[in-house]
Amino acid sequence: MARAAAGSVVETGSELDAPLVLQCVRGDDAAWRSLHLQYYPVTVAFLRKLGVGDDDIDDAAQEVFLQMHRYLASFRGESELKTWLYRLCITEARRVRRRRRIGDGLRRLLTLSPPSSLLSSPPFSEHSARRRVSAALDSLTENERSVLVLYELEGLPGKQIAEVLGCKEATLWRRLHYARKRFLALMEDSNVEGT
């Protein structure tokens, strides 16, 4: 536990992050650069896994760090800084996907998007496989996608995922079971359809 400026208390779940967080809260520019260098690659990788595309990734990562800058002083430290960062990323990815769906809908209405036949590729290419995985992930609910990405792709332990998602660990395992089941069914359907 460390004391921040103006008498507030900053705690972190990781003793290694405590001094850096304290320096950031005090307004140390070098500390913010260090925090950014340390967590930017994690942020970008996690946002990609949550379905944020290349066109949106830089803006989404910047927004996550703006949120971190805005609210770091009120970070209670009940979990690790990285766990809090994951929560910020999940919220931002949800916002980006919602904005993308709205934009896609508008483009379809205005017939500005190219026909899907122009975007197709051979069924067994690496590009096609990535598209099928991405489409399957996009078809999952927010809870399903978050738990699947955090467990399968990020490799976080169940307890930490439960903290990130704000649920009980038993709920997490149930969500993971159904998310895997649905993801595999979606992948199977895409193999049958050849998309």
* Rounded distance between C-alpha atoms, residue 87 and residue 94, angstroms: 11
Considering the domain architecture, whether residues 48 and 87 belong to the same structural domain is answered as yes
Considering the domain architecture, whether residues 52 and 129 belong to the same structural domain is answered as no
Considering the domain architecture, whether residues 51 and 131 belong to the same structural domain is answered as no
Number of H helices, E strands in the chain: 9, 2
Indicate the range of 23-27, 57-61, 97-101, 177-181 predicted with least confidence.
Answer: 97-101
Both tokens of 86, joined, read: 């994951």
Q: Which of 118, 130, 149 is nearest to 46 (CA)?
A: 149
CATH of the domain at 181: 1.10.10.10
What's the mean pLDDT in 24-41?
Answer: 92
Considering the domain architecture, whether residues 32 and 14 belong to the same structural domain is answered as yes
Considering the domain architecture, whether residues 44 and 62 belong to the same structural domain is answered as yes
**pLDDT, tens digit, 9 for 90 and up, residues 176-195:** 899 988 988 888 887 655 54
How many distinct structural domains can be found in the chain?
2
The pTM of the full predicted model, rounded to 2 decimals, is: 0.61
- Structure letter (DSSP) for residue 77: -
Among the candidates 82, 113, 144, a domain finishes at 113
Considering the domain architecture, whether residues 194 and 121 belong to the same structural domain is answered as yes
Among the candidates 71, 87, 113, a domain finishes at 113
Considering the domain architecture, whether residues 101 and 185 belong to the same structural domain is answered as no
Considering the domain architecture, whether residues 109 and 119 belong to the same structural domain is answered as no
Among the candidates 79, 113, 147, a domain finishes at 113
Q: Which of 139, 44, 72 is nearest to 101 (CA)?
A: 139
Considering the domain architecture, whether residues 99 and 138 belong to the same structural domain is answered as no
pLDDT at 105: 58
* Rounded distance between C-alpha atoms, residue 131 and residue 121, angstroms: 10
Considering the domain architecture, whether residues 94 and 14 belong to the same structural domain is answered as yes
Considering the domain architecture, whether residues 26 and 98 belong to the same structural domain is answered as yes
**pLDDT, tens digit, 9 for 90 and up, residues 103-122:** 665 556 555 444 454 455 44
- Structure letter (DSSP) for residue 152: I
CATH of the domain at 12: 1.10.1740.10
Boundaries of domain holding 169: 114-195
Considering the domain architecture, whether residues 88 and 182 belong to the same structural domain is answered as no
**pLDDT, tens digit, 9 for 90 and up, residues 117-167:** 445 544 556 777 778 888 888 899 988 999 988 888 888 888 889 999 999
**pLDDT, tens digit, 9 for 90 and up, residues 63-83:** 999 999 998 888 877 778 898
* Rounded distance between C-alpha atoms, residue 150 and residue 186, angstroms: 19
- Structure letter (DSSP) for residue 74: G
